[in-house]
A = this chain, B = another copy of it.
Amino acid sequence: MSKLSTLPAAIAAHVHDGDTLYLAGFTHLIPFAAAHEIIRQRRKDLTLARATPDIIYDQMAAAGCARKIIFSYMGNPGVGSLHVLRRLVESGALEWEEYSHFGMITRLAAAAAGLPFLPMRPTGASDLANVNPAYRRIPDPYGGEDVVVLPALHPDVAILHVQRADENGNAHLWGILGEQKEAAFAARRVILTAEEIVSEDVIRRDPNRTLIPGLVVSAVCHVPHAAHPSYAQGYYDRDNAFYLEWDALSQDEARLQEWLDQWVYALPDRAAYWDKLGPEVHARLTPSPRPSGEVDYGGYA
């Protein structure tokens, strides 16, 4: 049963004002195209959850989509601050809820497993637990040290960018996997964007590569280059220059709005965005080939 959709149709059908979203991808495969479509469709009052909000949530917050942010590292990775989010938090204009990375992924893992909570060992650092009542301590029923627990986080929608998927939503991912699997199983609805839509046969030739099974997927959209300025392992490089550029750009409200106008609102889709980046950027971001080699699954008829 094909789940193929255009990205605008998938966002229109599955992302609603007030939803809690988890746009997944730890540095890698960040679904920027979906974020831009959400901005274009002018969704409001979203709760945006991500371990690393990254530029993607800085952009969504700048466009006024966000009511609240849930995070564990609100920086521009390798550069510095996420200035939009930082301004909104410092001024009290944005609600926030904060964890450590392990806390964040533990909440998703609990939800993915259908559990109400998961334990972690104590860290001895108590200030985060003091300001976030979701952190609780419970005794070890076997007489050991107390454990710290966090409750499951069930996003309304998880959005993942993947390297390749079939029309049923079975998806191959490689490179950094972050919290992709946990987010997909934790969420109530899942939208995939994919660099390539491939035949079912390509997926089924290597079932161990399938991180996301179609049965949890609501819609799959063919959107090449959807992760820029982050990257898709083997397809294009992280655009470090843009991450550095954002640092300056995002500190200037006028430039920020101009950027949103030119790169989001004025463009119909990701193909236009990629085109606008131009051939020099395309060339700069193109990796050399590094094939994985094959394994043999064997035919057993």
Point out residues on A near B: beta carbons under 8 Å: 114-121, 136, 138, 140-142, 144-145, 147, 149, 151, 163, 172, 174-175, 177, 202, 205-206, 208-209, 233-235, 237, 287-301
Q: How far is the CA of A291 from the CA of B295 in the complex (A)?
A: 6
- A120: nearest chain-B partner, CB-CB: B115
On chain B, the residues within 8 Å of A290 by CB distance are 205, 296-299
Whole-angstrom distance between the Cβ of A181 and the nearest chain B Cβ: 12
Between A and B, 24 residue pairs with Cβ closer than 8 Å are: A115-B119, A115-B120, A115-B121, A116-B147, A117-B140, A117-B147, A118-B119, A119-B119, A136-B142, A138-B141, A163-B295, A174-B206, A175-B208, A205-B290, A205-B293, A206-B292, A208-B209, A233-B297, A235-B298, A287-B298, A289-B299, A291-B295, A292-B295, A292-B297
Partner of A300, one of B115, B208, B237, B298: B237
Partner of A234, one of B116, B118, B233, B296: B296
Whole-angstrom distance between the Cβ of A146 and the nearest chain B Cβ: 10
On chain B, the residues within 8 Å of A296 by CB distance are 234-235, 289-292
Partner of A121, one of B114, B120, B287, B293: B114
Whole-angstrom distance between the Cβ of A272 and the nearest chain B Cβ: 25
